[in-house]
Structure 1
């Protein structure tokens, strides 16, 4: 069933992992369905610390990518159409963004019964308790008021 995409990121991730199906325990697999609103629906930058992801687009057009690890930090991107497949290696920051004017749908298999997910902006600016703004000001080379504003959003 399509997920509700009326939220800030305009997407919905429906997860099928060991939490929903206990029989997946020790099998090293899980699945997600991602629904994206027309132009701008996104699965924001995130990482899966315990699994590689393979994504297949079934509807729409997605701009996808990942960033390689330090020190290179090279961005690898591709535009995907229905039937196209893309792999996001374990632990690397990656994203998907709907560049089409119609809804998009993709399915992803993950090489873990619970790959985990760390959404970068939420983790950095929405931690509980908050990370000291002085740390983030220096790390991101931003003004303190920008950091505190971003923290207030999460």
Structure 2
């Protein structure tokens, strides 16, 4: 009786792929001086500019204290700015500045190239099916609310966090 390879277990394959993708994504974004979480923050702000730090923390699955540091770093670099929140005097709204939009566009291009290479062993229809199936597994695992809304969750998730 032979023992199955670790790669016969979907959990092992997904774990290994996840670690590889995370490592590669860090490397892909390094020339721009940002990390994946900072890209996620910019991406969310491009989609929904003017959210409070608290509103940003939920969809990105980042603790509020960590979010303060992420915003601080992007603000120091002139990519975002805090302004008084229009409806909550206790909060600040975070807004993307033109330099942040430009950096986001560059990062999108680098990530798109990486994704093309990552899925290069698949036909285009297979790649679309693969992503669709991953999203279904993700949602079935109950993780749908823990990923950037531009990737999987709905507008309702953002509304709930307000």
- Which TM class, normalised by the smaller chain length? under 0.3
| Structure number with higher strand proportion | 1
The TM-score normalised by the length of structure 2 is: 0.23
| Structure number with higher helix proportion | 2
The TM-score normalised by the length of structure 1 is: 0.23
